[in-house]
Amino acid sequence: NAGVTQTPKFRVLKTGQSMTLLCAQDMNHEYMYWYRQDPGMGLRLIHYSVGEGTTAKGEVPDGYNVSRLKKQNFLLGLESAAPSQTSVYFCASRPAGREYEQYFGPGTRLTVT
């Protein structure tokens, strides 16, 4: 099993450009999450999904959109990137009934200039 994978690993965007980050998991997990991690701060939840076709806002959703058309994939979109979105983005998944363990992907380092 590959676990949780993220594409791309690195990206540099100019202000105003758009992009989509892809998260894929092969563990048949129900729940998926997108976080961002900034220096000196804990991971902050952007959006999450409790199952295929459903999404919900987390703590810092502004400027991002998500979709979960297939159970194994969770996409994070930036419609118009801003320098404040420079961060490391982590995707995570977990199975239903095991709220204590989230499995994280390796992260995507995004820089917006």
Partner 1 sequence: RKEVEQDPGPFNVPEGATVAFNCTYSNSASQSFFWYRQDCRKEPKLLMSVYSSGNEDGRFTAQLNRASQYISLLIRDSKLSDSATYLCVVNRDNYGQNFVFGPGTRLSVLP
Positions in the binding site for partner 1 (CB under 8 A): 31, 35, 40-45, 48, 50, 56, 90, 94, 99-102, 104-107
Q: Least distance in Å: CB of 15 to partner 1?
A: 25
Question: In this structure, how many other beta carbons lie within 10 angstroms of the beta carbon of residue 64?
Answer: 19
> Of the two residues 28 and 100, which places its CB atom closer to partner 1 in the complex?
100
Which amino acid, 94?
R
* Cα–Cα nearest to 90, from 26, 28, 25: 25
> Of the two residues 11 and 44, which places its CB atom closer to partner 1 in the complex?
44
> Of the two residues 72 and 103, which places its CB atom closer to partner 1 in the complex?
103
Do 101 and 53 meet the contact criterion of CB atoms below 8 Å apart?
no
